[in-house]
Structure 1
Amino acid sequence: MATLDAATLDDLRDALAEVEDKKPTQRLMAVINYLEEDDATMAEVAERYGYT
């Protein structure tokens, strides 16, 4: 995956299937959640994953 801007949800899900550590898993889940939820803000998603 070159950049996040060029990544599709499928790319992110593929990456999620390959990571093993907690922090990268949380980061990928946060990005996926943000992209899937039309009305979610970055702040809301960050709070869900404890980034605030």
Structure 2
Amino acid sequence: MITISSACTKCGICIEVCPMYILRMNENGPKLLSNACISCGHCVAVCPKSGIG
């Protein structure tokens, strides 16, 4: 499961790399649309501000 920190700048890079297509941007930053997250770490690896973990 991912967590979003206050460092998130809402750049959307994490959404672009999600292989499960379950991240969407809302007013607070990226949000999981389902519990199908496979914990691959792609979103964490590409975040330029370490805003997702």
For Structure 1 versus Structure 2, the TM-score category normalised by the shorter chain is 0.3 to 0.5
- Which structure has the highest strand share of the two? 2
TM-score by length of 1: 0.36
- Which structure has the highest helix share of the two? 1
Higher relative contact order (CA closer than 8 Å, sequence separation 6+): 2
TM-score by length of 2: 0.36
